[in-house]
Every structure is written in structure tokens, then in C-alpha cells.
Amino acid sequence: MNLSELHKVAEAMVAPGRGILAVDESTATISKRFDALGVKPTPDNRRDYREMLFRSTEAMSKYVSGVILYDETIRQNAKDGTPLVKLIEKAGSIPGIKVDKGTKPLPSCPGEVITEGLDGLGERLAEYRGLGARFAKWRAVIDVGQEHGLPSYTCVNANAHALARYAALCQDENIVPIVEPEVLMDGDHDIDRCVEVTTWVLKETFQELFYNRVALEGMVLKPNMAVPGKKSPKRASVEEVAEKTLSVLKACVPAAVPGIAFLSGGQSDEEATAHLDAINRIGPLPWRVSFSYGRALQAAPQKTWSGKPENVAAAQRAFGHRAMMNGLASLGQWKADLERKAAA
């Protein structure tokens, strides 16, 4: 493990004013999104869509520090034969790769899942590094459930342990691990229940990272924000989300971690941006706080594109706008009227 190299890459992933673009949707997931737009989910269409984003030169060079790719994408070439990884690097961004193999039901824990993919991971990481990946991502999924019966200790511990094993394997291959323990915002729980579960999950995760000798200086944390469930009748203000999210993080995340790149977790585009901005307006913070968004960056350009070549320029502008909004939010400089002007 070259900790100096890992730390350098981790710092670059959370560089001021920049964040991570997550285009690591599985083939099944992106196919559903294409189907909704009337776009055939062919390998060429998937490639063309992602190439369009990577060729958004200004957005990529100014606001996107890294790109999380799917196995198919890291192996693909652009229409002109250039590897997509090279397009990302040319734009000044860092290529990364999703390495987990999705979730499976957790035995004896009804309604809960465990993320799989540790078998053979060391060999896959070595291959991905050869293909250009400098960081990786593994997502654990924790469901709060409708009652206080979930999550179970079994689920939290099993997923935290798997995250730590994955992170250790990454660092052994000189790949920066993004550690993503996601407490889902599905359900009717309020923000305080989210705080309670997120605190537990993060404490368990960092304990397992310690036991597995993961160097905190060479990783990036990708957590959920403290938000109420989608079905909760008790909504939370932007300020409350920011304050309670930071309270959890300060209680759980050591200052040795270079940065935190939030997942959007089902929030709307503007909600994810506003919450990130409010968090960064509270300072000083012991780590850099940025974004690692998928749909919150992609929804607008994907809809604008809709598989039509004549829409590429407009879709790139839509992507550039969302990237810029979140870049400003990562500095605590976003303003809601910037969204209104764009809409007008």
C-alpha cells in the first residue's frame, strides 16, 4: 500500500468546488431509465449517453473530480475509438469503478440485504487498475423499516464488515475506496430516527475499518444525509437537515478522513444541492464536504437528451448547469435564484 499515493488521489476526489459523477448504474437500472424515455437500452446507446457527459468539457474540467464507472463502461471506447477512460482523464477527472455485485437477502433477517462481491475482488481490482481506475465504490444498503425492528444488528454488522474488507482490499491494490453505507430514505420514519440509525451505522463502519487496518487518510466516505423518510408526515427544513447531518458526522467521522462525498439518496436535484450548500455554510469543518451524485446530476441531461443526437448540446448544457450548481454548493456559495434563472 502506497499511502502517500492513496491520500493524494483521495484529496483530489474532494477538491474544492468539485465532486464525483456516479454513472455506475447497472445495465438493468439504466435500461429502466432509457425505457421511460423511449430509448432502446443498447450497448451503443449506453455508450453514447455516457460519452456525451464525458465530453461536456467545461462541466468535467471545472466541477467533476472523478467518475464512478460500471464494468461495461470502463471497457468501452468512444465512437472515434478513444477509450472512455481516456476521455475522463483528458477532462482532468479521475476514473473510478463500482466493484460490488449488488445485494442479496440476508439469511434469517427478513426484509434486509447484504452486499456481495468480496470473492475474487483482489484480482478484479488489479484488473480495473490496469484499465485506469484509481478509486472504487462499494454500497451497503440499510433499511430503517416501518418499525423500530429494523435495522437489525446482524444487518448493520455484516454490511459494515463487508465494507471494511472491501476497503482493505482496495488499499492493498493502491485504489482509493469510497465507503458507502447508505441508510435508505424509504419509509415513514422522521429525521430523528434517521439520525439514530445513521449514527449507529457509521460508528459500526468505522469500528470495522479500524479492525481491518484501513488507512483513513486514503479513503472517501459516501454517506446519506440526515433526512426524514419519503413517506414521513414530518418534513424537515434545509437548515435542520444540515445541522443534524453535521451533528452525526462530527460524532462519527474521524478528522483523518480527507473528505465526505454525499449520495443524493432519492432527493430531488435541487434538494440535494440546497442541503449540500447549507452543510458547507456551517463551518469550519474537519473534512472537505462534497457530492457523489447519480440521478441528481443525470436526471435533467438524460431527459433532455432522450436518445436524439440533435439534443446533445442542450443535454450537455443541462449537465453543466447541475454540475456547476453542486460545485457552488460544495463551497457554500449556491443560491436558489440561480436555479430560478436557469428555469426561466
List the catalytic residues. 180, 222
**Residue 4 class from Cβ within 10 Å (0-12 exposed, 13-18 middle, 19+ buried)?**
exposed
Yes or no: say if 49 and 302 are a contact pair by the CB < 8 Å rule.
Answer: yes
CA 36 vs CA 31, 33, 73, 266: distances in Å = 9, 5, 21, 17
Helix, strand, or coil here: 29?
Answer: helix
70 neighbors 92 (Cβ within 8 angstroms):
no
Do the Cβ atoms of 84 and 48 come closer than 8 Å? no
CA dist 134 to 13, 99, 172, 186, 219, Å? Answer: 10, 12, 12, 32, 12
Closest CA to 291 of 321, 316, 244, 324: 324
CA distance 214 to 188: 35
* Cell, residue 331: 463551497
For 336, the grid coordinates are 436558489
Burial group, residue 153, by CB count within 10 angstroms (0-12, 13-18, 19+) = exposed
CA terminus-to-terminus distance, the chain: 51
The percent of the chain in helix, strand and coil, each rounded to the nearest 5, is 50, 15, 35
